[in-house]
Each structure stands twice: as structure tokens, then as C-alpha cells.
């Protein structure tokens, strides 16, 4: 694992990065889905001065909103802008894999395969609702936490500087999602068990120093975030959101997930990552089953990656929603293990003066195993020109429909909001937040309109109060959601009856227009 024993990067590594950049670039015009539109809308409101958890509320930790805010300020609050910054971020992950996995824990070939089977597979497989999700982004800091924790095992008792860095990386991951803590705990436990100690057992003092170094690193980013939220005056709101409301929500829903979502997620994962999983099993067996020395760098790395996968599955189950993109938590460890699996199979098939299988046959077989991913990628390459800003609007909408069938409907349905003759100001959508993005409007109330199936009576009352204060220019009640919500609850119906009239039916529901006027209404129209 020591830097001196790593082969230097070369032209082959640069070629790998170039290919990954091209594979990622074909995803730049992919349209936003519900979550990406919500994150972008929230980032725009943060840029305008709103406070997270006060003026714009969500259960998630602030990391994802700050990522979108940073990406939007760098490259623009558009699909191409956000996706471009994400691509740069993922290429940075690829560079880290190329640097770290070419030493005693791997080889230059394993490092290159790891970059391809993580970042490359990600961009080959993902669609509209997978790009820019937390689960895809946190693989980078979790890997850094893993790698630096393993670097600490090279010193007796663990090198404090690597442990602190590992804790910092873990803290960054928690800023995106607190529920990721079991993954970090699993990785750190493997590193702790692999650490050499005088007398082969840690003393209480040595164990305290080890945990203290990790804890110090962990506290640094988490404390910095707490300080920022406190300075913005929203720390109390954030703490209530992180710790009080989830417990209340779990009690209200009895902690039961949706089996249909679990089946859909597993099907998506098997369809897109089945070959990677199969190769990862080979890599895990080769790394754990054949290496007799538990302190070999490769064995330690494989053990930590297996722990990541096992605890990642636990985290997915704990989240109860089981959306397909949750399985992206497993992509980085499975990709690295799959790279080891490919390397093992290649050596078994082609080693010796008389290889068992010609190399071209081995390479073709591996290509056929990944044929599904390559087919999906080829389709994206063929379609990408239709989604570019230079393409006609009708062509871009047809392109968007291939990834998100609701996108053209939302775009056409909000055309009147982009008309200069329409009323200015924030709007409110009891449904898909994609409408805010395509309309170029902000969300009137702090409480969003898409998680309503989990709202209690008090939440609906607070939402009605927020709407009454802001008096949005237009309100959309989204019809397809009536499976969970037969009609808006009484506080919302009363609010609409007193202040709004039906503007027109929508393919997705009903648009309402404000009729009441007053200071609150004027203030609502003052903000774009």
C-alpha cells in the first residue's frame, strides 16, 4: 500500500480516463427526474437566501443540496450543468482508484478495471432517476474512509494521521446521509481488526487512541456543518428534522416498507449489475479464500470491501423505501471486487506457456457477460445528439421522454407559467417537483408537496399556514397521486376554496389561480 511500491500512471491510465469521460458525457443531457428537480429547486432557493429546513424543508442532510448549489454556481442549474460537475466528481473518483489500487493491494490492471467497472458501469447503467443521487455520490468519500483506514494498518497501533483523514472522509459521507453510519462502522471495524498491536492485542489506551483519531476526523466535517447551520439560524430545525421527525414517521408507518418497491429495486439491480455482482463474487473468493495471511494488503482490502457490501445491504433495508437508486451504494465495492474477479479469471485462463484459453476468447467472453450494459450505453450514444441544446425543442422533448415519460407533459403543462403575461411569483405543486424546474418557479411553502403520504394532521395544518402566508400565484393538485390522497385534506381544501379558483384542468390534475390579494400575495409575487 505504500506509495513507493506503486507503478506510476501512464498513457494507458490517461486513455481509461478519456474513455470514462466520453461515457459520462453521453449522459449530460439526460433529463431530471423528481429528486433531481427537487434538489435543483432547493439549491436555487438557497442561492436566493432561503434557509434550509426553515424556508425549504426536507428530511435529507444538507450535503446533497450543497452539492447541487455548488454545481449550479459552477456550471448552471440545468441538467447539463449539474451532470457536468457530477462527471468531474466521478472522474476524480476514477483517478483516486487508479492511484490507490495499483500497489501491493492490487495492480495497474486491477486499478484500471476498477475505474471502468465503477465509474464506467455507473454511466452505462444509470437513467434519469439515478444520476445525481446521494447513493451514487457517497461512494467517493466512503472509499477514501476505507483506504485511509487501511493505510493506518501499516503502522503498529495505526497511524493517527491516516485515521483522522479516514474519519474526515466518513464525516463527509454522513453530511450527505446519516444512515450511512453502519457502512463506515463496518469498514472501520475491519481496519481495527487488521491493525497490528504490540503483544498482538490492543491495550485500552491504544484502542482509545485509535477510536479517538477516527472520532476527531469524524467530528471535523460534522461540526463544521453544525456551525454553518447554527450561523444560518436553522440548527434547531435541522436537528428536529434529523432525529425527531424520522422517529415520528417510523412510528406512524410502523416501520414497514413497500414490498413492490423492494422487488422493483432488486430487479433493476439484477438487470444492470448482475454481471458485476457475479464477477465480484469471484474476486471476493479469490481475495479471502486463497490468501492465507490475514494481514496481506489485498486481503485487508477485500475484507473491507465485503464489509461495505454487507453493511450497505443493511442500510438499503433500513431505508424501507427500496428505490432502485439505493443499490448504487454497492457499486464502488462491487466494481473493485469485480475487477479482481476479472483479473483472477484472466490469469487462470491465459497463464502459463500453454494457456487454457486464447486471450481473444477470454476477452470476448468477458465482453459478452457485459453485453447488456454495452447495449444500454450504445443506445445512449445514438440518442445523445437529440438531447443537446442545439436540437429543436420537439426533438429534445422526445429525447427526454425516453428517460422520463412525465417530462414532456410537465414542460407543456407549464408553458403558461413561462409566458410573460402570467403572474410572477412562487407556485405550489401537490405532486411532482419536476413542475417547479421546468416552469422556472420556486416552491411557495417550505414543506414540499411530494411526501404527503407520510404527513400527519399537524403537517397538513403547517402546510396550509405556510401557503396562507405566501399565497402562491398558482397551485397544482396532482391527480395521479389520488391513489394515496383521494382529495386534499380539509386545511388545503379550505385554503383553496377561500383564495383560489379553478384555472384549468391539467393532464396531471387541476391548476388553481389565486383570487385573493393583499400584502402576502404581493410579497409572493415579488420573488421570481
DSSP string for residues in 37-78: HHHHHHHHHHHTTPPBTTTB--SS-THHHHHHHHHHHHH-SS
Q: Backbone phi, then psi, for 514, in 5-degree steps?
A: -70, 140
How far apart (Å, rounded) are the C-alpha atoms in residues 484 and 258?
Answer: 13
pLDDT at 385: 95
DSSP run (H or E) holding 430? strand 427-430
Mean pLDDT of 21-34: 96
Pairing of strands 427-430, 500-506: unpaired
Q: 513: helix, coil or strand?
A: strand
Confidence of residue 355 (pLDDT cuts 50, 70, 90): low
Averaged pLDDT for residues 367-394: 89
- Kindly tell me the burial class for residue 301, based on how many C-beta atoms sit within 10 Å of its own C-beta (0-12, 13-18, 19 or more): buried
Q: Confidence band (pLDDT; 50, 70, 90) for 55?
A: very high
**Which parts of 241-392 fold into alpha helices (H)?**
245-253, 259-289, 297-319, 331-350, 359-369, 371-383
- For residues 432 and 410, the answer to whether their CB atoms sit within 8 Å is yes
The structural domains of the chain, with segments of one domain joined by +, span: 406-526
- Stretch 214-224: mean pLDDT, rounded? 97
Q: Which residues contact 526 (CB under 8 A, 6 or more apart)?
A: 424, 425
pLDDT value for 522 = 42
| Joined grid coordinates for residue 186 | 463496518
Q: At what angle do helices 259-289 and 371-383 cross, to 10 degrees?
A: 120
Res 490 pLDDT > 90: no
Cα separations in angstroms, 194 against 255, 295, 298 = 36, 6, 12
Model confidence band, residue 294 (pLDDT cutoffs 50, 70, 90) = low
pTM of the complete model: 0.92
Measured between its terminal Cα atoms, the distance across the chain in Å is 54
Q: How far apart are CA 283 and CA 281, in angstroms?
A: 5
pLDDT of residue 367: 73
Which of 175-189, 301-315, 468-482 is the least confident region?
Answer: 468-482
* Confidence label for 136 from pLDDT (cuts 50, 70 and 90): very high
- Supply 183's cell numbers: 457502512
515 to 109, 252, 463, 472, 497: CA distances (angstroms): 67, 36, 19, 10, 10
CA 13: distance to chain centroid?
A: 26
Mean pLDDT of 147-176: 94
Locate 35 and state its grid cell.
Answer: 429528486
Taking the C-alpha atoms of residue 78 and residue 457, their distance in angstroms, rounded to an integer, is 36
Kindly report which listed range (26-40, 325-339, 512-526) carries the lowest average pLDDT score: 512-526
Sheet holding 509-514, edge to edge: 427-430, 474-478, 509-514, 500-506
Asked if 327 and 126 touch (Cβ cutoff 8 Å), the reply is no
Residues 6+ apart with CB under 8 A from 398: 386, 408
Distance of CA 91 to the CA centre of its chain: 15
How much is the average pLDDT of 388-416? 95
* Confidence category of residue 413, pLDDT binned at 50, 70, 90: very high
Task: Please check the confidence at residue 161 and state whether its pLDDT lies above 90.
Answer: yes
Given a contact cutoff of 8 angstroms between Cβ atoms, the answer to whether 225 and 64 are in contact is no
In the structure, how many helices (H) and strands (E) does the chain have? 24, 4
Instruction: Write down the mean pLDDT value for the chain.
Output: 88
Helix (H, G, I), strand (E, B) or coil at 103: coil
Three-class DSSP category at 502: strand
Write the DSSP assignment of 281-309 as a string of letters: HHHHHHHHHS---TTSHHHHHHHHHHHHH
Number of CB atoms found within 10 A of residue 15's CB: 11
- Other C-beta atoms within 10 Å of 97: how many? 29
Amino acid at each position: 500500500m505504500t506509495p513507493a511500491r506503486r507503478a506510476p500512471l501512464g498513457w494507458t491510465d490517461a486513455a481509461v480516463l478519456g474513455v470514462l469521460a466520453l461515457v459520462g458525457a453521453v449522459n449530460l443531457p439526460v433529463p431530471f427526474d423528481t429528486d433531481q428537480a427537487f434538489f435543483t429547486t432547493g439549491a436555487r432557493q438557497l442561492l436566493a437566501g432561503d434557509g434550509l429546513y426553515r424556508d425549504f424543508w426536507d428530511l435529507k442532510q444538507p450535503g446533497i443540496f450543497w452539492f447541487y448549489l455548488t454545481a449550479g454556481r459552477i456550471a448552471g442549474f440545468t441538467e447539463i450543468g449539474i451532470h457536468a460537475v457530477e462527471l468531474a466528481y466521478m472522474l476524480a473518483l476514477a483517478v483516486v482508484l487508479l492511484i490507490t489500487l495499483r500497489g501491493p493491494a492490487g495492480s495497474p490492471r486491477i486499478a484500471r478495471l476498477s475505474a471502468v467497472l465503477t465509474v464506467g458501469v455507473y454511466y452505462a447503467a444509470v437513467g434519469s432517476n439515478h444520476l445525481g443521487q446521494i447513493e451514487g455520490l457517497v461512494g467517493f468519500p466512503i472509499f477514501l474512509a476505507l483506504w485511509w483506514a487501511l493505510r493506518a494498518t501499516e503502522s503498529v497501533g495505526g497511524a493517527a494521521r491516516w485515521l483522522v483523514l479516514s474519519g474526515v472522509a466518513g464525516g463527509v459521507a454522513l453530511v450527505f446521509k446519516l444512515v450511512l453510519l453502519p457502512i463506515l462502522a463496518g469498514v472501520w471495524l475491519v481496519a481495527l481488526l487488521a491493525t497490528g498491536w504490540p503483544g498482538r492485542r490492543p491495550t485500552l489506551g491504544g484502542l482509545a487512541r485509535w477510536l479517538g483519531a477516527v472520532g476527531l476526523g469524524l467530528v471535523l466535517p460534522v461540526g463544521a456543518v453544525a456551525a454553518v447551520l447554527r450561523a444560518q439560524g436553522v440548527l434547531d430545525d435541522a436537528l428536529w428534522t434529523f432525529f425527531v421527525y424520522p422517529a415520528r414517521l417510523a412510528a406512524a408507518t410502523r416501520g414497514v416498507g413497500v414490498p413492490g418497491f423492494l422487488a422493483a429495486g432488486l430487479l433493476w439491480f439484477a438487470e444492470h449489475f448482475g454481471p458485476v455482482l457475479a464477477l465480484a463474487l469471484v474476486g471476493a473468493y479469490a481475495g479471502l479464500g486463497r490468501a492465507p495471511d490475514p494481514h496481506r494488503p489485498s486481503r485487508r482490502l477485500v475484507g473491507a470491501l465485503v464489509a461495505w457490501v454487507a453493511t450497505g445491504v443493511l442500510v438499503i433495508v433500513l431505508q424501507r423505501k427500496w428505490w432502485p437508486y439505493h443499490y448504487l451504494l454497492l457499486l464502488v465495492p462491487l466494481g473493485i471486487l469485480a475487477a479482481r474477479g476479472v483479473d483472477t479469471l484472466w490469469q487462470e485462463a491465459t497463464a502459463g506457456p500453454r494457456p487454457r484459453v486464447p486471450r481473444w476468447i477470454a476477452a470476448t467472453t468477458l465482453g459478452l457477460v457485459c453485453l447488456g450494459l454495452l447495449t444500454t450505453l450504445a443506445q445512449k450514444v445514438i440518442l445523445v445528439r437529440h438531447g443537446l441544446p442545439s436540437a429543436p425543442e420537439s426533438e429534445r422533448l422526445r429525447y427526454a421522454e425516453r428517460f422520463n415519460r412525465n417530462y414532456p407533459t410537465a414542460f407543456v403543462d407549464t408553458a403558461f407559467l413561462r409566458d410573460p403575461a402570467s403572474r410572477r411569483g412562487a407556485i405550489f405543486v401537490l405532486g411532482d417537483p419536476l413542475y417547479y424546474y421546468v416552469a422556472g418557479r420556486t416552491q411557495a411553502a417550505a414543506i414540499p408537496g411530494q411526501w404527503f403520504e407520510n404527513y400527519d394532521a399537524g403537517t397538513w395544518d403547517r402546510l396550509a399556514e405556510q401557503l396562507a402566508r405566501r399565497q402562491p400565484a398558482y397551485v397544482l393538485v396532482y391527480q395521479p397521486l389520488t391513489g394515496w390522497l383521494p382529495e386534499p385534506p380539509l386545511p388545503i381544501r379550505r385554503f383553496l376554496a377561500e383564495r383560489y379558483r379553478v384555472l384549468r384542468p391539467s393532464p396531471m390534475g387541476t391548476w388553481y389561480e389565486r383570487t385573493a390579494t393583499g400584502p402576502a400575495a404581493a410579497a409572493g409575487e415579488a420573488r421570481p
